[in-house]
Structure 1
């Protein structure tokens, strides 16, 4: 007669059955489960998967304290804000105006233009300080009036002004010799400002009869003589100190402004 040995079941410790994997019991040799003995079937997990946390940590904070701290750190106190505003205002107040930085003086340009409106009383003292902002304004206005007449002549105007100023500068320096004090920059300024009557003629030609008529030639001659008189007055008397040679100086000025009037007429 053989002896029977009872083998106790093997159990693995676990925290409890998972809701997804129900616990199963392993029956003993007698066919019944021993009391308190449970066996959990382990379900294999997929490889390369991070472990899932058992619980999500929760962080609590006080909204009122956070808003107070952010408001206190984002904005400086009123006294500091006033100091910053006063210092920035002082920095901007020290900056020079943009027109002055570009050496553009609108009031001086207007005074020079007004002095040329009367060809018999030209204020030469205003033109002792040369500038090119006024002449370039006249060049652009001349080109725009010609554009309204159907002529694109911006490059022609600038080219003729450059050649005419260099020609007058060379001729007057040869004529004056050592007594002359005319420089090229002032010559560009004077010739450009004296182009103002031709600019007026270019604007008036849009409403005048055609240039081929007798009235058109008379009107053009009036504006050419106006420009010649003021230009020769500024160049001869005030710059060269040679009023006796004013007629000789007026001749090239007359030729120059005749060329510009021909741009308007034809």
Structure 2
């Protein structure tokens, strides 16, 4: 420990080093450097921008990314193919003329519609009428969407089973849903009236009876016409009146 203070001071020494950066004399390797010359010959004749005008920086932009090639002609001619395609509603299976005709038939139950319009299965109209019916009930403080869909599905299945037994040519479930859904339109109007005034009175009883009779006559007329069930409208009208009577009870209470 006594020799600790006698340690040499390496940092206090003036260590100077000299460096020689002089290049060694050029050595003669006795080798001659021969550089060959080549004549530049261009294989491109004429203007090099004629084959591809997009390489020319001074050429104006024409807006045609395909130039004058075959791709540009195919792309410009593809727009005419969309003119021959059918409308979007027709591709989706929605016929606006049949929808309007069914709606007018419901509003006028004594009018005989076309059979082709009745056999056209359309679920857009019944869905809209069910949503409108539930919306008017919601405005009057009644949340009955589950009852509407539950009673509607049960009623459609029951009517499909009954009409399958009564009709000789048979009936599809889509036709039953379409007819019963479109004929719900008078009941939608009744629910709209319920928003303004109460139906629990003499006026309400009269309006409810008219709405039930209106829906039942329209539905039975459509079923008899679509299924060629001659002289069987009263038999079809009774179960339809029971179904729409349940919807009327939901509207009133």
Global fold match (TM > 0.5): yes
- Which of 145, 150, 158 aligns to 1:159? It is 150
- Asked if 1:193 corresponds to 2:182, the answer is yes
Aligned to 2:58, the other structure's residue is in SS state helix
Matched with 1:12 is 22
- Asked if 1:250 corresponds to 2:237, the answer is yes
- Which of 205, 213, 233 aligns to 2:194? It is 205
Matched with 1:239 is 227
Distance 2:234 2:21 in 1: 131
- Which of 82, 100, 109 aligns to 1:110? It is 100
- Decide whether the 8 Å contact of 1:124 with 1:234 is kept in 2: no
- Asked if 1:140 corresponds to 2:150, the answer is no
Moved over 4 A (4+): 69-74, 78-82
Offset of residue 166 of structure 1: 0.8
1:114-145 CA distances to partner (integer Å, 9 max, x unpaired)?
12211222425331323222211211221222
Distance 2:127 2:247 in 1: 15
Matched length: 204
Higher normalized contact order (CA 8 Å, seq sep 6+, divided by chain length): 2
User: Is there any run of 5+ residues in structure 1 with no aligned partner, and where?
Assistant: 1-9, 15-64
- Decide whether the 8 Å contact of 2:112 with 2:225 is kept in 1: no
- Decide whether the 8 Å contact of 2:220 with 2:233 is kept in 1: yes
TM-score (norm 1): 0.66
Inter-CA distance 146–67: structure 2 relative to 1 (3 Å threshold): farther
User: Is there any run of 5+ residues in structure 2 with no aligned partner, and where?
Assistant: 1-19, 25-54
Alignment of 1:35-74 (within 5 A): 67-68=57-58
- Which of 218, 238, 243 aligns to 2:206? It is 218
TM-score (norm 2): 0.69
- Decide whether the 8 Å contact of 2:101 with 2:113 is kept in 1: no
Inter-CA distance 167–117: structure 2 relative to 1 (3 Å threshold): same
Q: Between 97-106 and 251-260, report the one with greater CA deviation.
A: 97-106
Alignment of 1:173-188 (within 5 A): 173-176=164-167, 179-188=168-177
Distance 2:23 2:178 in 1: 105
